[in-house]
């Protein structure tokens, strides 16, 4: 173990190196002294943070120095010890005047951590008390962006209200996109994410369609991992519970004209969650929404933008008033076979049909009208691997569902999503108050849920009860909680 003062010096040296790799917006020669001052103040806050956590043996090792291509001149000029700060500050003005302007990207090496002095008590793991999205942890990640200069250094700060100009684009034109991902604690208390690369890709696509800025997906993910590490005590250690991660990007440019975004902010908040629908695998009913259109061809229904969600609040209210948990969006196009089945706002939807001697699991295709769900993709992959049923991504008209239900061929319906995982559905209530009922065998589902890790992957025995929903849920949970290793489960280094 290094002597404490040696570790501190090492930490400071690392911090300084990181700072100079960090391409603090050194764009305009006029701004160069200010940039140098910012560099030093960044250094100070990082050093303070290292000092703050100096009782940890990990001091100095959370800031990997990963040189970026084409920046070696900075390493040669500035990768130096803490003592040289004064000289650097003086010399910076001349040196930066030769820099070719290059907008900065998000970089984990630049991350600043400011810990809160007021930590909240952690909640108890009561599925009813831990209402989805109602509680937030103590810290958040934030980083802002400006056209021309790019992203500032990301920081982890105590959660606090944000200041926005009243003319910020997000407040008027809904320039907002977000993600939903989760951190899980495995049996060894290690933290894990599930397919986070898919969330980073989707966030990037959502941002692009709103002219919100691009970002380095790998670097952002590293910053998110650090936030989860900081909040590791908030990650519930119980199956069915997790830490919900909400990365969000908003347009902050104070401008009432309609124009592409010139200023933005990316932030990530965390919320400890239990089951999205209290009661776990207890089935729900959906209201068949045929009047409000959630998505349409050529729209942004396949992006996770705030504008797709705000107009679903009213259908959601109407659904709950009619005893349903959510709406199922069915796009009417006058076709005699009924409207086109989409998704339900917080979930993708799956239907299991009995078809001439076989079964077919159907979910709507990725045609721009539904969100490309991470859980959706995972369930499709697992079900295809079973090899005992046809698995289709195809257009589904509501008439086909009604026919199958009438003839007893509609075997199961379930929704999937990050928030809800797998959610059985036993009723589809139509506007005329008639209801399609769907079977759900709770004992069969419980049989599959009780299986030991990995056992649900084995072919079912001939005497085993049938529950596709139960079997898929067991396998999904095994992967998410790292009970069965897979490349999908991404461990967060301690
Ligand atoms: C998610 O599943 O992560 C979602 O974003 C659903 C949310 C609208 C509650």
Q: Is 346 in the pocket of ligand 1 (CB under 6 A)?
A: yes
Same domain, 368 and 239: no
Alpha carbon distance 217, 489 (integer Å): 17
Q: For position 133, what pLDDT does the model report?
A: 85
Nearest protein Cα to ligand 1, atom 6: 346
Provide the β-strand partners of residue 415.
349, 423
Same domain, 400 and 301: yes
Nearest to 261 by CA among 305, 199, 222: 305
Same domain, 267 and 172: yes
pTM, entire model: 0.80
Q: For position 277, what pLDDT does the model report?
A: 54
| Residue 432 within any structural domain of the chain | yes
Same domain, 60 and 149: no
Cα(174) to ligand 1 centroid in Å equals 17
Give, in degrees to the nearest 5, the angle at Cα 428 between 134 and 419. 25
Same domain, 343 and 372: yes
Q: Is 206 in the pocket of ligand 1 (CB under 6 A)?
A: no
Same domain, 97 and 114: no
Same domain, 98 and 117: no
Nearest protein Cα to ligand 1, atom 3: 180
What CA dihedral angle connects 431, 433, 434 and 436, to 10 degrees?
70
Contact 348, 342 (CB under 8 A): no
| Residue 278 within any structural domain of the chain | no
Q: For position 426, what pLDDT does the model report?
A: 97
| Residue 476 within any structural domain of the chain | yes
Q: How many residues does the chain have?
A: 494
User: What is the helix (H) or strand (E) element at residue 355, kind and residue range?
Assistant: strand 348-355
From 46, 76, 102, the end of a domain falls on 102
| Number of domains within the chain | 3
Nearest atom within ligand 1 for CA of residue 304: 5
Q: For position 87, what pLDDT does the model report?
A: 46
Give, in degrees to the nearest 5, the angle at Cα 398 between 396 and 403. 105
| Residue 77 within any structural domain of the chain | yes
Same domain, 136 and 252: yes
Q: Is 419 in the pocket of ligand 1 (CB under 6 A)?
A: yes
| Residue 160 within any structural domain of the chain | yes
Nearest atom within ligand 1 for CA of residue 346: 6
Same domain, 221 and 369: no
Find the CATH number of the domain harbouring 291. Answer: 3.20.10.10
Q: Is 180 in the pocket of ligand 1 (CB under 6 A)?
A: yes
| Residue 314 within any structural domain of the chain | yes
Q: Which residues, 6 or more positions from 375, have their beta carbon under 8 angstroms from its beta carbon?
A: 348, 416, 417, 418, 421, 422, 476
Q: What is the CA radius of gyration of the chain?
A: 25
From 65, 83, 102, the end of a domain falls on 102
From 75, 102, 129, the end of a domain falls on 102
Nearest atom within ligand 1 for CA of residue 375: 2
Q: For position 22, what pLDDT does the model report?
A: 32
| Residue 279 within any structural domain of the chain | no
DSSP summary character for residue 168: B
Nearest protein Cα to ligand 1, atom 9: 346
| Residue 413 within any structural domain of the chain | yes
Q: For position 79, what pLDDT does the model report?
A: 27
Helix (H, G, I), strand (E, B) or coil at 458: coil
Q: Within the chain, which residues score under 50 in pLDDT? A: 1-89, 93, 97
Same domain, 319 and 448: yes
Mean pLDDT taken over the chain = 83
Q: Is 417 in the pocket of ligand 1 (CB under 6 A)?
A: yes
User: Could you count the other beta carbons within 10 Å of the beta carbon of residue 404?
Assistant: 21
Q: Is 347 in the pocket of ligand 1 (CB under 6 A)?
A: no
Q: Is 344 in the pocket of ligand 1 (CB under 6 A)?
A: no
Find the CATH number of the domain harbouring 186. Answer: 3.30.470.10
Same domain, 199 and 78: no
Structural domain boundaries, residue 18 = 2-102
Nearest protein Cα to ligand 1, atom 5: 180
User: What is the helix (H) or strand (E) element at residue 417, kind and residue range?
Assistant: strand 410-417
Alpha carbon distance 181, 203 (integer Å): 11
Same domain, 127 and 93: no
pLDDT in tens, 402-461: 999 999 999 999 999 998 899 999 999 999 999 999 999 999 999 999 999 999 999 999
């Amino acid at each position: 173990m290094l002597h404490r003062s040696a570790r501190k010096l090492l930490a400071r040296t690392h911090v300084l190196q990181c700072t100079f790799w960090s391409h603090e917006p050194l764009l305009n020669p006029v701004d160069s002294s200010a940039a140098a001052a910012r560099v030093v103040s960044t250094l100070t806050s990082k050093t303070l943070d290292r000092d703050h956590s100096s009782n940890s043996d990990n001091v100095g090792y959370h800031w990997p120095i990963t040189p970026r291509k084409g920046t070696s001149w900075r390493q040669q000029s500035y990768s130096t010890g803490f003592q040289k700060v004064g000289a650097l500050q003086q010399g910076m003005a001349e040196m930066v005047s030769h820099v070719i302007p290059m907008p900065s990207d998000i970089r984990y090496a630049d991350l600043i951590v400011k810990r809160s002095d007021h930590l909240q008590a952690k909640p108890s793991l009561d599925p009813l008390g831990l209402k989805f999205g109602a509680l937030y942890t103590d810290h958040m990640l934030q980083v802002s962006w400006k056209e021309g200069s790019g992203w500032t250094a990301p920081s982890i700060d105590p959660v606090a209200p944000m200041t926005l100009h009243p003319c910020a684009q997000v407040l008027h034109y809904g320039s907002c996109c977000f993600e939903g991902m989760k951190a899980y604690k495995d049996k060894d208390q290690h933290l894990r994410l599930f397919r986070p690369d898919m969330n980073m890709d989707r966030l990037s696509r959502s941002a692009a369609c709103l002219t919100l800025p691009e970002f380095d997906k790998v670097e952002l993910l590293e910053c998110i991992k650090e936030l989860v590490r900081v909040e590791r005590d908030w990650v519930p250690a119980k199956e069915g519970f997790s830490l919900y991660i909400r990365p969000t990007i908003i347009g902050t440019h104070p401008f009432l004209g309609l124009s592409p975004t010139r200023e933005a902010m990316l932030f990530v908040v965390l919320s400890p969650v239990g089951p999205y629908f209290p009661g776990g695998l207890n089935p729900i009913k959906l209201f068949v929404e045929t009047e409000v259109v959630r998505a349409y061809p050529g729209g942004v229904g396949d992006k996770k933008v705030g504008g797709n969600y705000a107009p679903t609040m009213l259908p959601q209210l109407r659904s709950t008033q009619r005893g349903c948990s959510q709406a199922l969006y069915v796009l009417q196009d006058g076709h005699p076979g009924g409207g086109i089945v989409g998704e339900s706002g917080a979930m993708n939807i799956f239907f299991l049909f009995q078809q001439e001697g076989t079964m077919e699991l159907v979910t709507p295709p990725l045609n721009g009208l539904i969100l490309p769900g991470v859980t959706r993709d995972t369930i499709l992959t697992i079900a295809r691997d079973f090899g005992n049923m046809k698995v289709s991504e195809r257009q589904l008209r509501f008439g086909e569902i009604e026919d199958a239900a009438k003839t007893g061929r509609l075997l199961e319906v379930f929704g999937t999503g990050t928030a809800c995982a797998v959610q059985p559905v036993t009723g589809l209530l139509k506007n005329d108050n008639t209801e399609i009922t769907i079977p759900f065998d709770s004992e069969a589902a419980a049989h599959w849920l009780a299986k030991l890790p990995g056992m649900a992957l084995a072919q079912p025995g001939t005497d085993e009860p049938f529950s596709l929903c139960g079997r898929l849920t067991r396998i999904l949970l095994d992967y998410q909680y790292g009970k069965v290793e897979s490349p999908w489960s991404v461990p967060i280094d301690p």
